[in-house]
Amino acid sequence: VLNDNQLTYGVAGHHPTQGLDPSWIELAGVHVAVDSLYNRGSDLALRIRQLAFRERCGLEVEQTRGRFSMDSTAIRLTDFSLATAASRLTANMEAGGGLLRMEPQTPLTASLGADLATNDVARLVPALLPAALRNRQIGMELTADGTLEDLRRIDLQITSPDHLWLTVDGRARYPLDPRHLTASARIRGRLRNGAFLLETVPDTALRRRLALPRQIGIDATARIDSQNYVLSSLLRAGQGRREEGRIHIDGRFDARHERYEAAIRADSFPMGSFLPADSLGRLGLALDARGKGFDPYNPATWSRLQLEVAQAEYRSRDFGGVGITAELADQQLQGRIEDRDSALLLSLGLEGRL
């Protein structure tokens, strides 16, 4: 129903929920200005000079502009922008006419930008954002270029002033076919002064002991190749560069054959920065694991694990020197635990059958 600059759309008998409810839309103060409108058959072109409204959820759009055109050869969205009092979205997109038919060879170029106030997001989806994430700004830039079958370039950057910087650079082939998807990406990021994020964790005894160091950084590469997954990542954490510790993770997983490999290296990682009340210090370890299958009762399942803990500080004492080995093959389990620290000389063997 459109009446007196108000628009209502709803499903009969539906009771609106909090936030933006697609089954019940109420717009007030609707202002629409369009010119250069052209329509002939499937060809369409228009220019949006202004679109403003206030939705029932409280989101108020102050300005919308842009050009849209569509014919048999191309679909274009040019200089599109949408703004509220605190947020702004921009977009430019051009694609071949095969986009609506999802033809794999359809060319596609797109650039999207956003400067979002989290309060606007909360109006749309109140349950999505806890109180700790309100009153913040998030910036995003996304560009993509290629075809629907082969996106040769995908660049994403997400920022939040004084807290977050994250970039993802990648490529994807067959993105619409999960079984044959091939993709790669490099991920780099920094999180600073992120203690407020702990307020998003459920209020438990663990949360009350948790903390976050002043700086956390990540540098990772990831690859997917027809259900084969490869990850290599470096995580850095500390109160400053001089106190920085590292965890390096390498892993491979073959989903079709249930094969996996993993290697984890921790170098003076500051566990006390995450659990300051537990008298923990720095951790240094090397963990290697590999195997096939996840059903321990299947004779074809096998697994090998080796862990060496070189540094494990607790109450200012280093309890490093722990070694653990375990192997499962033909439903036979064997393992050993050793500790060479003078405070706890230990050697324990384990054998069993599943």
pLDDT tens per residue across span 25-64: 999 999 999 998 899 888 999 999 999 999 999 999 999 9
HSE-CB for 229 with a 13 A CA cutoff: 14
pLDDT cut 90: percent of the chain above it = 75
pLDDT at 183 (0 to 100): 97
pLDDT of residue 1: 58
Band of residue 342 on the pLDDT scale cut at 50, 70, 90: low
Mean pLDDT of 221-245: 87
Give the whole-angstrom CA distance, residue 185 versus residue 222: 5
Average pLDDT of the segment spanning 174-180: 89
What is the percent of the chain with per-residue pLDDT over 70, rounded to a whole number? 97
Q: For residue 141, what are its two tokens?
A: 């830039």
pLDDT at res. 58: 95
Decide if pLDDT at 157 tops 80: yes
Confidence (pLDDT) at 178? 86
Query: Mean pLDDT over residues 79-103, rounded?
Result: 96
* Per-chain mean pLDDT for the chain: 92
**Rounded distance, CA 87 to CA 119, Å?**
9
- Is there a contact between 275 and 211 (Cβ–Cβ < 8 Å)? yes
The pLDDT value given to residue 2? 64
Please return the burial class of 87, using the count of CB atoms within 10 Å of its CB with bins 0-12, 13-18 and 19+. Answer: buried
pTM of the model: 0.87
pLDDT at 60: 97
pLDDT tens by residue, 105-156: 999 999 999 999 999 999 999 988 888 899 999 999 999 999 999 999 999 9
Residue 243 has pLDDT above 90, yes or no: no
